[in-house]
Amino acid sequence: MASLDYAYRRLVNTLGPERVARSEFERMVYSHDFASLPKIALLQWKLYPDFVALPQTTEEVAALVKLSDESLLQITPRGGGTGWYGGSVPNRGGVMVDMRKMNHVVAFDPDGRTVTVEAGATWKDLEDFVESKGFALPIVPVNAIGSTVGGAINTGSTGFGAPRGGSLRDAIARLLVVLPDGSLLKTASDSDADGQLANLTPLFFGAEGTLGIIAEATLRVVPKPESSKAIAYAFPSLAASARFLKEIVESALVPFHAALASRDHFIFERALRPDSPDPSDVALVAVQGSKDEVADQERTVDGLAAKENGAKLVPALADQLWRDRYNNYSARRLSRGLVTSYNLIPVSRLPEAVDRAVEIRDKLKLNGAVQAFLVDSTTAALVPYVLMDDTRPSGGTALGFVKRMGDAAFKMNGHSMGLGLFLVFNLRKMHGRATSFISAVKVVFDPRKKINGGKTLEVWTKYPWPGLRAIPPPGMAVGLEIAAVLRRAKPTRDRFVRAYERGKEE
Amino acid sequence: MGLLRDWHYIEKAVQIPALSEVIRETLIRALFVRDDRVLPKDLIADLNRVPPVTVKVKDDGEVRKLVRVLNGEESTVSLGLSAEDYHYFRTQLGVGRTREFGVVVRPRTLLTYDWIVPEQRGVQLDFTGYAGIEFGDAHRAIAQVGATWKQLFDDGLTKGHLVPFVPTVPLDFAIGDGLYGDAPFASYRGEFASHVNALRTISPFGHRARLGFEEVANNGTAYDLLHATVPLAAEFFIPVAVALRLEAKPAARKTLTYAYDDGSKLAVALDKLSRTSQTPAWVHVTDAVASKILRPASAAEPFAVQVSIGGTASGMAAKEKAIDAAMAGFTSKNGEVPNPFDVPAAAYRKTADTVTRSLFVGEVRLPAKSVGDFVAKTRAFGDQSAAKAGIYASLRATGTVSSFPFFAAPKDRSKVYDLSKGVRAIAAKTPGAVFTSRLAHLWEEEAHFMRRMAFLRALKLTIDTAHVVQPLVSP
């Protein structure tokens, strides 16, 4: 391996000194993603990158990838860092490639209804651009403000608009990817050829940056709807709001979006912003179509909500909830950290699933809230979160919640989302005997494990020595299970918000 | 009997010194039509070979056992055949000699034509009898690959589900034909793959392996191998059942039929419809020739568009009004004309029998606004080739039309090849159009496409190290 100073010089020669960082502070910023990690994690992983590189062009990304053949440093691509599983943090240092300077719209084709954008653009910026042209994105990932185009594709994200707009995978016309050998690959034909002409795009959907670095994405856009409306209801219980979402699917209605948030979420919001809605179990539905259709859909949704004793909120409140839809985790400011568990579960089991999430949270004596939304006619995303303070000794034990929630999702014939560095033990649970097929993909594209190695399929440590170089994935599961047990044994509940605690004591 | 096999065969063939002088396209033609003036006789014999043994599958356990026998993990004794069948099986396959055996799946109905390179010495699986459908409490179904689309559609409606995808050309396809045949299943909102949640497969090592998740979508679980391989699934593993995402049956459904006298008006209407926020179940287009086949009793207009809508009874009027506005330019509209799918199974099969007599060359995908121009050129080409042309097509929400030109011509391979070339030329001259037939895949030489194919081939060889699932063949 070349010395770090030599590697630094080569990086500076490629990008210039202003786009290569190696200071302690900058490296620290890149040592975690949205999830907070206890300091003990540094014992097994070198989470601080050796260098942070900020390329501005696809050619520069290719040059960085080729440079790693000289330096033998690992490459870790990173978008907005809004993931939760360590997919975009290093495990053995190396070069962190922050894609956020590649954030331009490359081409917009109103006739072909596509937009080509660099991978580091955020979804919110892209949405604003597309809307300024009279179009809309069929689906926008949940963390649209911070999440980048490449990041969401790499995590196999779902989001707003999925019931109507379909999967994000189907919204991708093609990708331009820098492969581990530094060459470029278009993952699908330039024409709209369906899955024909060898479409490799799905392989990169959810790949967590382990097959190559997505440099550009060509995405489908849809015409702006003639009319749209957000409608919100307060329900007597969380289960009732979940039954309401299930009824929407049963009624053959195809809303643009349908989501629920538990009362606890609004308690946290109220603690941060006095003008936030009164705490209650709320469902938010967005419908689109012609004016007549929107009115008809609203009547139908009203009828479904009434069956579950849902009280319609005033339009101004529904509009406010819709405007704030991308701010899901403000509660993080109450506790310094927050852990989210992202799961897909069958719609038919959504009422059971939300109850189970509350039960797990309460058993682990955590503060948290439950959010869920419809993905398609069979699938709902269940996204509960809990607050944690990783500066306290017990803080890290909150990570046990993610393990328990994932297990619950599998029991309900669903699955947790994301593998990254921390949840690799779920791979075999997800795919069973097909795991070897999945692993074959990495072997074909990146046999030397240059790009984001030691993640998704296996867990590398920072130690290169045999016997210590990797953690068997079940070992990670045991670690998180111990965290859950310790959490449960903790004699006191966390106390971040008084109103929340009062609610639990009542 | 697969894209990778044919592509690999041609890639290897062009490396043979004696054939390397032949232009790739000429070689593909010679291989496709089995031209003995260009190719050596033993090569022609290989191309005309048929799999010596066909197994009618009744249970996936049989497939598992068979795969283990063919990849050498078990002996033929474990197949439990009668003495007569045992000897037939061993003799036909030449078991005992140092040979590789492959296993291929036979489609129930082919829209176009068979692949160039047949299975050389292995076993063909016939899944016609493996046709069960299991509906869950949610809107999903697990259909064994031999189940027909029509059976799924009808049973689904009975049980309160709507099968969202329909075949653009109404033939009697099995669900498996979407995985290893060329069934053009699609809905207005998506392609067939977008309705597939999971595949139950038998791996090249005889294990049951599930790709995807039967009850939920496949997001955030590492590489989405399922959707990358749906059109080629049987070249990586043996699919035995498909978990499909259905929808709730709407309270009211209606098919609106619009007639157009002019291709340009049709194109404008289709483009406009796809630019609204309407989400019909499907939108199908037929020209006069196709309309006459589907509805022989009715007078055929130059173009007919059928739009299937569903929703609440109270909301149907609003939907219909919005679609009427988008479809402006039609000469007549009728809400009573039956669609090809909501008919009894016997009537559907009868229509399918008539449709299948035409010669299909494959799919041309093109922007909606180019439809009129494309149809006119295809007709003119058909007239020049003494093969009257017609078209079935369906519209997607993306504004793309998936069209299937067909010809009244005998289905001999030379004719298929020549007509395919003609359609390819028309597609090449139509802005935004692309011909995606099986032959078109072999003709394509774009660098990124070649690279993608090479990756797929490498992936196949990594997954199927036993070389048992449609093993690659060299000339």
Residues in chain B with CB shorter than 8 Å from the CB of A166 are: 189-190, 194
> Residue A502: pLDDT band by 50, 70, 90 thresholds?
low
From B215, B311, B453, residue closest to A413, measured CB to CB: B215
Interchain contact, A207 vs B436, CB within 8 Å: no
CA-nearest residue to B276 within chain A is A223
Query: A222-257 pLDDT, tens per residue?
Result: 999 999 999 999 999 999 999 999 999 999 999 999
Identity (one letter) of the amino acid at A468? L
Residues in chain A with CB shorter than 8 Å from the CB of B189 are: 166
- Report the pLDDT value the prediction gives residue A496, as an integer from 0 to 100: 82
From B190, B220, B317, residue closest to A155, measured CB to CB: B220
> Residue A337: pLDDT band by 50, 70, 90 thresholds?
confident
- Report the pLDDT value the prediction gives residue B136, as an integer from 0 to 100: 83
List, as ranges, residues 12-31 from A with C-beta within 8 Å of B.
Answer: none
- Under 8 Å CB-to-CB from A210, ≥6 apart: which residues? A442, A446, A451, A452, A453, A455, A456, A457
Torsion sign across C-alpha atoms A267, A272, A277, A278: positive
* Percent of chain A's residues with pLDDT above 90: 79
Compute the average pLDDT of residues A47-71.
Answer: 95
**Residue B473 to residue B43: CA distance in whole angstroms:** 12
Residues in chain A with CB shorter than 8 Å from the CB of B443 are: none
**Residue A342 to residue B5: CA distance in whole angstroms:** 40
* Percent of chain A's residues with pLDDT above 70: 98
Domain architecture of chain B: domains with CATH? 1-15+47-249+447-475 (3.30.465.10), 252-439 (3.40.462.40)
Query: A338-355 pLDDT, tens per residue?
Result: 899 999 999 999 999 999
CA-nearest residue to B236 within chain A is A437
What is the least distance, in Å, from the CA of A249 to any CA of chain B?
7
Query: A3-29 pLDDT, tens per residue?
Result: 899 999 999 999 999 999 999 999 998
CA-nearest residue to A291 within chain B is B318
Interchain contact, B222 vs A157, CB within 8 Å: no
Interchain contact, A167 vs B223, CB within 8 Å: no
Judged by DSSP in three states, B349 sits in helix
- Report the pLDDT value the prediction gives residue B96, as an integer from 0 to 100: 62
Compute the average pLDDT of residues A144-168.
Answer: 95
- Answer for the pair B220, A154: CB distance below 8 angstroms, yes or no: no
**Residue A481 to residue A263: CA distance in whole angstroms:** 28
- Under 8 Å CB-to-CB from B369, ≥6 apart: which residues? A111, B267, B268, B270, B271
Residues in chain A with CB shorter than 8 Å from the CB of B446 are: 189
Looking at residue A67, the DSSP 8-state letter turns out to be H
Torsion sign across C-alpha atoms B104, B108, B112, B113: positive
**What's chain A's Rg over C-alpha atoms?**
23
- Report the pLDDT value the prediction gives residue B99, as an integer from 0 to 100: 64
* Two tokens, residue A10: 């080569």
DSSP codes of every residue in A380-394: EEE--EEEE-TTSTT
CA-nearest residue to B223 within chain A is A203
Is residue A393's pLDDT more than 80?
no
Compute the average pLDDT of residues A453-482.
Answer: 92
Is residue A479's pLDDT more than 70?
yes
- Report the pLDDT value the prediction gives residue B459, as an integer from 0 to 100: 97
CA-nearest residue to B225 within chain A is A203
Question: pTM of the predicted model, to two decimals?
Answer: 0.95
The answer to whether residue A203 neighbours chain B at the CB level (below 8 Å) is yes
Residues in chain B with CB shorter than 8 Å from the CB of A143 are: none
Is residue A39's pLDDT more than 80?
no
Domain architecture of chain A: domains with CATH? 101-223 (3.30.465.10), 227-415 (3.40.462.40)
What is the least distance, in Å, from the CA of A382 to any CA of chain B?
12
Buried b (16+ CB within 10 A) or exposed e, A386-402: bbbbbeeebbbbbbbbb
Q: What is the mean pLDDT of each run of 10 residues along chain B (475 residues)?
A: 90 85 89 91 89 90 89 77 76 68 92 90 92 92 98 97 97 97 95 97 95 96 96 94 97 96 96 94 97 90 96 91 95 94 96 96 96 96 95 96 96 95 96 94 95 97 92 88
What number is the ipTM of this complex? Answer: 0.95
**Residue B396 to residue B186: CA distance in whole angstroms:** 9
The answer to whether residue A179 neighbours chain B at the CB level (below 8 Å) is no
Is residue A138's pLDDT more than 90?
yes
Interchain contact, A156 vs B224, CB within 8 Å: yes
CA-nearest residue to B205 within chain A is A433
- Report the pLDDT value the prediction gives residue A328, as an integer from 0 to 100: 86
Is residue A428's pLDDT more than 70?
yes
Closest listed residue to residue B143, CA positions, set B240, B247, B249, B248: B240
Q: Count residue pairs from A and B with Cβ separation < 8 A.
A: 269
From B217, B219, B277, residue closest to A225, measured CB to CB: B277
- Report the pLDDT value the prediction gives residue A391, as an integer from 0 to 100: 77
Interchain contact, B452 vs A249, CB within 8 Å: no
Interchain contact, B311 vs A252, CB within 8 Å: yes
What is the least distance, in Å, from the CA of A285 to any CA of chain B?
17
> Residue A2: pLDDT band by 50, 70, 90 thresholds?
low
Mean of per-residue pLDDT scores for chain A:
93
Closest listed residue to residue B415, CA positions, set B353, B358, B356, B354: B358
Interchain contact, B220 vs A444, CB within 8 Å: no
- Parallel, antiparallel, or unpaired for β B400-407 and B434-435? unpaired
